Structure 1
Amino acid sequence: MEEYLLIIARTIFLYIVILIIFRVMGKREIGELSVLDLVVFIMIAEMAVMAIENPKDKLSHSVLPMFLLMGIQILLAYVSLKNQRIRDVIDGKPSVIINNGKIDENMMKKQRYNFDDLLVQLRDKNVKNVADVEFAILEPSGKLSVFEKKKKEEEETSTEGQQEEEGTLNLPLIMDGIIQEEHLKQMNKTNLWLRQQLRSLGYKDFKNISFCSYDKGVFFIDLKDE
C-alpha cells in the first residue's frame, strides 16, 4: 500500500514539474515544434516515466536532468533569438518547394520530400491540383504553407504591374541585420537594389534593421531596439 501511495505522490509531483517546465520553455503549437523541441520533450517525458516506474530511485536523479534540459533549451532559445545563423542550425530554414508554379525537384530531394508527401499536404490544405499552386513553402516544422494562384476573373481585373508584384513571393529581405541573399535571388532582386532602396528611404546602415520585407512595391521596415 505504501508503495502505491509513493507512486501516486511521485506521479502528481512530476506532473506539476513537467507542467512548470513546459510553461517556462514557452508556448508553441505541436505542429510548429522543431526537431530539437521534440527531442527535449521526449527526453523529459522518458525521465518522468522512469522516475514513476522506479519509486526506490531518488527523485532528484530524474528531476535534476529535467531542469538541466530546460535550462539548455532556454539558453539555446535566447542565443538563437540573437543570432540568425545559430537559429538556422537549430531550427532549420524554410524551403520553397513550388516557386511561381514550378516544382523545385532539387529542393525536394535535398529535403528528402517526395511527391506523395506534397500531395498529402496539399489535400490537407483543400488544394486539389498542383497546377493551382503559385508558391508552396516547407517550413522547418514540416508544415507546408501554400499560396494558390489567382483565378482568371481576378487576373483580368488586375493591371500588368500588379500581376508582376503579386507573382513575387513575399519573403524577408533582412533579418537581424543580415541581408537574405537567397530571398533576393528568388525575388529576382539584387543586393545593390536593396541597398539603394533603403538609402532612398533614409536607412543608411542595414545592420540597424531588425526585419525588412517587400510586398507590392512597399517596404516594411522594423529597426532594432536600442
Structure 2
Amino acid sequence: MFRLETPILELVIRGVVVYLLLLLLIRVVGQREAGGLGITDVLIIVLLAQAVGGGLTGDSESITDAAVLVTTILLCSVVVDAAAYRLSWFSVLTKARPRVLIREGELNHRVLRREFMTIEEVRSQLRLHGIEDIREVRCAYLEPNGMISVLPARGDIQDTPPVPPRG
C-alpha cells in the first residue's frame, strides 16, 4: 500500500508536464470560463483530484505515488507563482490580465470575439451594475477571475459586486 510502484523521477516529470500543459491550455481557453475562481485555482483542483483519486479508490498501485504527484503539483504551483511575482516577463506568460471590454462607451469587439462573449451578455453584466446603456460606461474590464468590473461615465459606483458571468 505504501510501497512506491512508479519511479519517483517519472512521477515528478509526469506531474510537472501535466501541470504546465494544463496551465497553457487553460490560458488559451480564456478568462471568461474561470468563473469566480482564478485559472490556477481551477488547475490545482483538477490536478489534485486526479492525483489523489487513484489512491482514494484503490485503483492506484500506491498511496505514495499519489503523495509524490500531489507534492509535485503543489510545488509547481508555488514555483510558478513565485516566478511570476519576481519575473515580469514570466508573469505575462502565466498570469491573466484584465482585458478592456468597453472604453468611452465603445465595445472592444476583438476581446468579445476572443472570449466568445455576445453583446447581450455584456449588457446583462452592465445591468447588474445598474447601467442600461453601453454609452454610460467610461471603462469596463473582463477581470482575470471572469467577472466584469465597470467604471461608469457618470461617476456612480455600484456598492455590491455582481455575480460572475456564466458561460
TM-score range, shorter chain: 0.5 to 0.7
The answer to whether the aligner puts 1:111 opposite 2:134 as a matched pair is: no
Map of 1:192 onto structure 2:
none
Cα distance in 1 for partners of 2:87, 2:117 equals 28
- Which is higher, the Rg of structure 1 or of structure 2? 1
2:36 to 6, 31, 36: 31
Deviations 1:164-194 (A, max 9, x none): xxxxxxxxxxxxxxxxxxxxxxxxxxxxxxx
Pick aligned residue for 1:90 from 94, 103, 117: 94
Alignment of 1:1-226 (within 5 A): 31-34=36-39, 36-54=40-58, 57-150=61-154
Higher relative CO (CA 8 A, sep ≥ 6), structure 1 or 2?
Answer: 2
- Given the superposition, is the C-alpha separation of residues 44 and 88 from structure 1 closer, same or farther in structure 2, using an over 3 Å criterion? same
Number of residue pairs the alignment of both structures matches:
122
Q: Where does residue 10 of structure 1 map in the other structure? A: none
Deviations 1:8-64 (A, max 9, x none): xxxxxxxxxxxxxxxxxxxxxx82412x33122211022233221117742111111
Q: Unpaired runs of 5+ in structure 2?
A: 1-34, 157-167
Equivalent position of 2:23 in the other structure: none
More strand by share: 1
Cα–Cα, structure 1 residues 51 and 124, in superposed 2: closer, same or farther, change >3 Å? farther
Amino acid at match of 2:127: R
Runs of 4+ deviating beyond 6 Å: none
Question: How high is the TM-score relative to the length of structure 2?
Answer: 0.63
Compute the TM-score of the two structures, normalised by the length of structure 1: 0.48
Structure 1: runs of 5+ lacking an equivalent:
1-29, 155-226
| CA positional deviation for 1:75 | 0.4
Tell me by how many angstroms 1:90 deviates.
0.9
Per-residue deviation, 1:68: 0.3
Distance in structure 1 (CA, Å) of the matches to 2:135 and 2:119? 14
Between the aligned residues of both structures, percent identity stands at: 15
